[in-house]
Amino acid sequence: MTRPNQDAPRPASRRLPPVERMRQITSAAASLFAATILENVTVADIVKRAGVSRALFYRHYSSVNEVFDSVVDLVAQDFLARLETEASDDSEAELDRVLRDFLNTCQAVRLPARALLRNSRLPGTDDSVVSQVFLRAEQEIYRRSGIDEPSKLARLTVRTWLTCVEVQTLAWLDEEDPTETVDVLSVRLTNTLRALIDVTMPSDDDSLTALVTYLP
């Protein structure tokens, strides 16, 4: 019997197209970002999870931050596109519709959504994808409420509520409780905003009065 030549070259592993290789890297990174904050993830972590070399990683990405932006871009761009949709005639249904769109998007792309929410910042505090998503959401709330110049109290109230949305949505995605549906979470978040307004609203704050009319 002829013995195989141990020195014969092994067939090269299949070379993936750049798009597939980038998807392999971002998929591995998404699972890491979904479990911890951005600052805790290194290039070494990503290449180990993806099963690729550092050289291959740097062929497609310059840094961990660039990979993170690619990961969250899926949910960010989808949600921002939904926000660009013209408001409906029923103003009382607007907040509920935006909330449900956001929650359904998060549910459809669970890992990138968890990465986005776990690494969130206050709206407008930097130029990251995450910060810009929530800044855009804040601006859209004012637009659909007919508020041209929100008061300081209105801004604080809305930003406090957006933080509640982030925290509760992340917990919802982490736990995957079948009894906690989009409908249930949407109602609870709407009630949270109503409660915040009730607690903070003075009678002469026109911005908060406008927000009240925006609630279903």
pLDDT in tens, 195-210: 888 877 666 777 777 7
Dihedral angle sign, alpha carbons of residues 190, 135, 100, 185: negative
Please state the rounded mean pLDDT for residues 148-167. Answer: 89
Quick one: pLDDT band at residue 67, thresholds 50, 70, 90?
very high
pLDDT in tens, 10-33: 333 467 788 888 989 999 998 898
Quick one: pLDDT band at residue 154, thresholds 50, 70, 90?
confident
Residue 159's nearest CA partner among 211, 207, 122 is: 122
User: Which class in CATH covers the domain with range 18-65?
Assistant: mainly alpha
Quick one: pLDDT band at residue 125, thresholds 50, 70, 90?
low
CA–CA gap between residue 146 and residue 167 (Å, rounded): 27
Whether pTM exceeds 0.85: no
User: So what's the pLDDT on residue 91?
Assistant: 53
Distance of alpha carbon 195 from the chain centroid: 25
Pick the residue with more confidence: 138 or 60? 60
CA–CA gap between residue 56 and residue 67 (Å, rounded): 13
Residue 73 burial by Cβ neighbours in a 10 Å radius (0-12, 13-18, 19+): middle
Pick the residue with more confidence: 191 or 87? 191
For residue 144, the one-letter residue type is R
